[in-house]
Amino acid sequence: MILNLDPQFNPFPNQKSIEYKSFLFSGGEPHIKIDNNFNTDDTITVTHRLQSFNDVGLLLLTVDALQRMGVKKIKAFIPYFPAARQDRLMVAGESLSVKVYADLVNTLQLDQVLVYDPHSEVTPALLNNCTTITNYTFIEKVISTLNNNVLLISPDGGALKKIYKVSEFLGGKEVVECSKSRDVKTGKLSGFKVYADDLEGRDCLVVDDICDGGGTFNGLAQELKNKNAGNLYLAVSHGIFSKGLESLSSYYNGIFTTDSFNTITKQPKVTQIPLATLLA
Ligand SMILES: O=P(O)(O)OC[C@H]1O[C@@H](O)[C@H](O)[C@@H]1O
């Protein structure tokens, strides 16, 4: 059975849903009341798209409520794991945020925590009983809509390890490595490099876990064009798009993402592939 805490997100449509009511108390505390018309011997998977600390809070409360109802086997599907990017201390005075979130989830003693395409190996290392789902079928689906001669583009060092696994899954698709520099104090990006002399007009698919503001992908697009790239496409598992899609749409012929983070209202160049279709 499934308990979807975001009513717009149903990644396991074949499973029966548990009903509940949730709301915020006027003091700001999330609250949940779960209907008790299900068999508590069943395994329950709680899903949520975590976009705020309150979302994390609601997940914690839900698991507590289920445990108090007598449910023994509980799993969670947290496709976008919060602060997965904050996986090392860059500057003194900051928190190791991914560990804080992982520690909170670990207190729930879940039977399984499913995470979709985490930023690095740190998240699964910190989470107990973690199973990661790769982006392979997502990228395969994206490529099935593009020119088969498309190059896979790894935007930076962080993406490098993962992209070679994607390439292997796809039967050895050609990879072009790129890099960027970020000032860890200001977050400012600079120095985009594409490690190829001439892309000979070939179409390029940039693959990464997250698009946040889009600075990485806008900067990279300019450099790819300087290296004679053909059509540009972007595939990111988690589409935050915090600065909108206008600028990205001016560089990319197509932008692909899943619904791991949110549901995007129709945008001309954006294709959102629901996780439900990738997990089936
Ligand atoms: O440039 P924006 O979109 O803000 O940030 C996305 C980048 O930041 C990294 O952690 C992600 O893996 C990606 O490379």
User: What's the CA-to-centroid distance between 110 and ligand 1, angstroms?
Assistant: 29
As annotated, the residues of the chain forming the CATH 3.40.50.2020 domain(s) are: 2-133, 136-279
Q: Does 211 sit in the ligand 1 pocket, CB within 6 Å?
A: yes
**Are 205 and 235 contacting, i.e. CB atoms less than 8 angstroms apart?**
yes
- Which of ligand 1's atoms lies nearest the C-alpha of 159? 12
Q: Does 248 sit in the ligand 1 pocket, CB within 6 Å?
A: no
Q: Does 85 sit in the ligand 1 pocket, CB within 6 Å?
A: yes
Return the pLDDT at 158.
86
User: What's the CA-to-centroid distance between 49 and ligand 1, angstroms?
Assistant: 19
Residue at token pair 């945008």: 267
User: What's the CA-to-centroid distance between 201 and ligand 1, angstroms?
Assistant: 26
User: What's the CA-to-centroid distance between 218 and ligand 1, angstroms?
Assistant: 11
Q: Does 215 sit in the ligand 1 pocket, CB within 6 Å?
A: yes
- Return the number of other C-beta atoms located less than 10 Å from residue 129's C-beta: 14
Ligand 1: residue whose CA is nearest its atom 11: 210
- Which of ligand 1's atoms lies nearest the C-alpha of 219? 1
Supply the pTM of this predicted model: 0.96
Question: CA–CA separation, 131 vs 135, rounded Å?
Answer: 13
Global ipTM: 0.97
Return the pLDDT at 1.
97
Give the chain's residues under pLDDT 50: none
- Which of ligand 1's atoms lies nearest the C-alpha of 212? 3
Fold adopted by 2-133: Rossmann fold (3.40.50)
Give, for ligand 1, the residue of 122, 182, 210 to mutate: max count of ligand atoms closer than 8 Å to Cβ: 210
Q: Which residues contact 76 (CB under 8 A, 6 or more apart)?
A: 45, 46, 47, 48, 59, 63, 105, 108, 110, 112, 113, 114
Phi and psi dihedrals of 58, rounded to 5?
-65, -35
Fold adopted by 136-279: Rossmann fold (3.40.50)
Residue 184's identity, in one-letter code, is V
Q: Does 155 sit in the ligand 1 pocket, CB within 6 Å?
A: yes
